[in-house]
A = this chain, B = another copy of it.
Amino acid sequence: MKISIAQINYHIGNFEGNLNNMKRAIDEAKSQNCDLVCFGELAVCGYPPRDFLEFDDFIRLCTESINALCAYAQDIAIIVGSPTVNVDPLGKNLFNSAYFIYDGAVQFVQHKTLLPNYDIFDEYRYFEPAKSWDTHVYKGVRFALTICEDIWDVHTDDPMYTTIPLDHMAKQNPDVIINISASPFSYIQAEKRKVVVKANALRYNLPLFYVNHFGAQTELIFDGGSLVVSPTGKIVHEANYFEEEIFTYDLKDVQNGYVEKVQSYSKVQLIHDALVLGIKEYFGKLTLKSAVLGLSGGIDSAITATLAQRALGDRNVRGLLMPSQYSSGHSVDDARQLAENLNIAYDIIPIQPIYDQFLSSLEPIFHDLPFNVTEENIQARIRGTLNMAISNKFGNILLNTSNKSELAVGYGTLYGDLAGGLAVLGDVYKTEIYELAEYINKDGEVIPINTIRKPPSAELRPGQKDSDSLPDYSVLDVILFQYIEKLQGPQDLIEMGFDPALVARILKLVNTNEFKRYQTPPILRVSPKAFGMGRRMPIVGKYLS
């Protein structure tokens, strides 16, 4: 029994594209004399399809894709994910299912039991959980089919669900476990995934084939890393991260469990490669080619430009330098140096004439009220408007350069530096940005050294520094990480040794700036808890604010 794992890219709602990709993989599996090829969760429609699932028309197109796969699956079997209509009037109207197809027809369907509904996941919004479990024999081998989360509730102290589907299937003595997944990337996900997949293989003493998507859908990145694991919990094969891979194993060889291929990435390398893929995919799936971004001479825009250049090519990234009277002399020099290092085009538009005209137009209303955040924001919004003008005129997408630390505490101007189609670094803390800079510069200067060394500043008033109003990022980021990723409350943070007044101030900044994050562009998710769809907070809430 030769089983092929097709770790390929899908596009939400692009039925024809997904079908063609799968047909290509089927052809390749056939050329390797495979008996079976496995695709990912909800492969026919892409993941996550979100509220498209509520349209009967969308479900009809899923069914048409399944029919097309039935017609195409000659001399080979396929396992593929698709929504299924729940014909019982009781319960939700859909299941999230794994289809086993061969001889031109659907031979077996197993629905998903454990429906993730936390962080970025909303599966209970659409699907009814499976309440029956079966296995299926094909060419003398008995298969247990599971879907993503179905295998994730073993090996934990605090299970989120009240049943384990493989415990039911195990009673039928299957020979192999298949798991079809759409498991989004974070920098800890690959390690967690290996622990979980190995724990399942060991628990049931069975070989396990795990297939994941690769690619990205707006903020969610799918890293691949598909796995083949032996009954003794040995990883026989871990597929490449961040790229397509179609590979085949004979079930007999997997039973014996030798280690053939594993990946080894550092955290910063994972983040770097994920962000490059995320940018590439966002543009590719929108069929747009080129980006524009403001280059301030600071580290955030420098890293964003570098990642964009690596994703899109140097001819497809355009920098805009928009100095003001408050910009330091080296800002333009540093930005220009970066553009030259990256070999990207750039323009310089000083903003003072526009700024002066704004102040002059507002003078009859402002009179001699003192300079404050208003005038800082006007500068940021002029830059936002200029960036968007380039974006509109030349068909570029504006990339947002905000980092997670400043998004957390609200240090950014709505419609100014918070503008853009995609927030590249919105899930990367400032301290991690410096790690990225070091990683990027490992083989020579790309990010100018002065950009890395100078103290961070928004340069919106004379001599401004981030450290005027915020603690060192090395302290701030730890508090933010404990609050955002680890859900630690004020008392927990104080017990860790942080100053109570500082804790109160930072947590209040985070909570009272929810209104800004509500209007922030989608953020490429690289951590286990990113701002955006995975973190849902009230705006008028009064907790810690």
Residues on A lying within 8 angstroms of B by beta carbon are 11-14, 17, 46, 48-52, 54-58, 60-61, 89-93, 117-118, 122, 124-125, 157-162, 217-218, 281-282, 285-286, 347, 349-351, 353-354, 357-358, 360-362, 364-366, 369, 372-374, 377-378, 381-382, 384-386, 388-390, 392-393, 414-415, 419, 421, 487, 489-492, 515, 518-522, 533, 535-545
Asked if A542 contacts B14 (CB within 8 A), the reply is yes
Q: Is the CB of B518 within 8 A of A217?
A: no
Q: Are A162 and B540 touching (Cβ within 8 A)?
A: no
Partner of A382, one of B364, B385, B392: B385
Task: Chain B residues near A11: list those with CB within 8 A.
Answer: 540, 542
Assess A538 versus B57: contact at CB under 8 Å? Given A354-B361, A385-B385, A415-B415: no
In contact, A12 and B538 (Cβ under 8 angstroms): yes
Q: Are B515 and A421 in contact (CB under 8 A)?
A: yes
Interchain CB contact (< 8 A) of A285 among B93, B364, B392, B540: B540
Q: Kindly list chain B residues whose C-beta atoms are within 8 Å of the C-beta of A539.
A: 218, 522
- What are the residues of chain B within 8 A of A160 when measuring CB–CB? 91-92
How distant is the Cα of A93 from the Cα of B157 in the complex, in angstroms?
Answer: 12
What are the nearest 3 A-B pairs in CB distance?
A57-B489, A13-B543, A14-B542
A–B Cβ pairs within 8 angstroms, 20 of them: A17-B542, A46-B541, A49-B541, A51-B535, A51-B536, A117-B125, A122-B536, A349-B362, A358-B386, A358-B389, A362-B386, A362-B389, A365-B390, A366-B393, A372-B393, A374-B392, A414-B419, A519-B519, A519-B521, A522-B539
Task: Please measure, in the bound complex, the distance between the C-alpha atom of A360 and the C-alpha atom of B386, giving whole angstroms.
Answer: 12
Q: How far is the CA of A366 from the CA of B60 in the complex (A)?
A: 47
Nearest-CB residue, chain B, relative to A545: B13
Contacts of A90 in B (CB 8 A): 159, 161-162
Partner of A57, one of B89, B118, B491: B491
Q: Is the CB of B381 within 8 A of A49?
A: no
> Which chain B residue has the least Cβ–Cβ distance from A45?
B543
Q: How far is the CA of A51 from the CA of B354 in the complex (A)?
A: 42
Nearest B residue (CB) for A48 = B538
A373 touches B392 (CB 8 A): yes
In the complex the two chains form, what is the Cα distance from A399 to B42 in whole Å? Answer: 40
Cβ contact within 8 Å between B358 and A377: no
Contact A50 B537 (CB under 8 A): yes
- Report how far A455 CA is from B278 CA in the complex, Å: 43
Residues on B with C-beta less than 8 A from A12 are 538, 540-543
CB-CB nearest in chain B for A160: B92
Q: Which of B13, B157, B158, B381 contacts A542 (CB 8 A)?
A: B13
How far in angstroms is the closest Cβ of chain B from A59?
10
